[in-house]
Structure 1
Amino acid sequence: MSRVAKKPINLPKGVECQVKADAITVKGPKGTLALPAPAGVDVAVDGGTIQLSVKNASDMKMAGTARALINNMVTGVSEGYQRKLELVGVGYRAALQGKDLSLTLGFSHPVVFQAPEGITITVPAQTEILIAGADKQRVGEVAAKIRAFRPPEPYKGKGVRYSGEKITLKEAKKA
């Protein structure tokens, strides 16, 4: 079995894990997440830890992935995940209208994005967007969808970028 799969997952206080034949459910203060049971991997909960084992040697390839997914679920329901986006460009702004995110990105019309269920979007400043939720994959997916409205362009760097993302600028044509 892989080194990742051998490592047990510790359950923090307030987090419960239920293992059924068809799904693994993790419940905590930030919400409830479910994962279809990985084929060929046994999941056992004893006390405050989750331990994974494989049924056959051929099923070892899924053990590390299953452990990482379950660990992400445990972290998500206990602490949560968040991504920060920055708007760079003259006139680029973000504002909340109820639960919808309204973006002014240099188009002739504002772009309105509806937050999916389980995701909270906050705008601490006009040029910052904070996306938070319990599911790591959904938080990243929502951040990528918002970034795709106006990805950073390579000449001036204008657009929506992840916080801390480095944009390599190209040199403009010389006449």
Structure 2
Amino acid sequence: MILTASGLLAISATAASRIFILQDGADLEILYCLDNAGGNAGLYKPDALAVSSRGDSFYALCNKKTIVRFSKAYPASPYVQDGEIALSQGCEGARQMAAGGTGGVLSETLLVAGGGCLEFMDIAVDGSKTVSQLVYPGGTDPLGFADPASISYCRGAFLIAGGDTGTITVFGNTM
């Protein structure tokens, strides 16, 4: 579940391949449902969601191998798929994702984890991947990169909780 820039809740239903968009408030009214019909062909088994740092958009990690971006053309319009990015081969199987601003005007960074390595991706304004970097765990994976408990973005840095290793690793926005 995420809270979008326009104050709406987005909740993924992995088994049903749907994302529900709800009005935040006392009654949590369902406004509409995104599914893989029509213009949302990439929406299949959304595991994780991440809010974009650029405008009113969000990302869905689908089927552990693809990232789909949803955006609004206008404040009153519904979210529609406007980008689809395949994960690098070494990161397929990922289960977690976080998005954050890199300080650059024309891009933001996504971090995807849980597929055996970390993948940092710079995403252009149009939703395309411009640069990608894989970070593989060293030796016995002392930092928990192969299977982290969680990842998040806060104050210009990505935080990776190493799961069973009991570590937290911080990557700043000047990777």
- Give TM-score scaled by structure 2 length: 0.24
The structure carrying a bigger helix percent of its residues is 1
Higher relative CO (Cα under 8 Å, sequence separation at least 6) belongs to 1
Larger radius of gyration: 1
Q: TM-score if structure 1 supplies the norm length? A: 0.24
Q: When you count strand as a share of all residues, which structure comes out higher?
A: 2
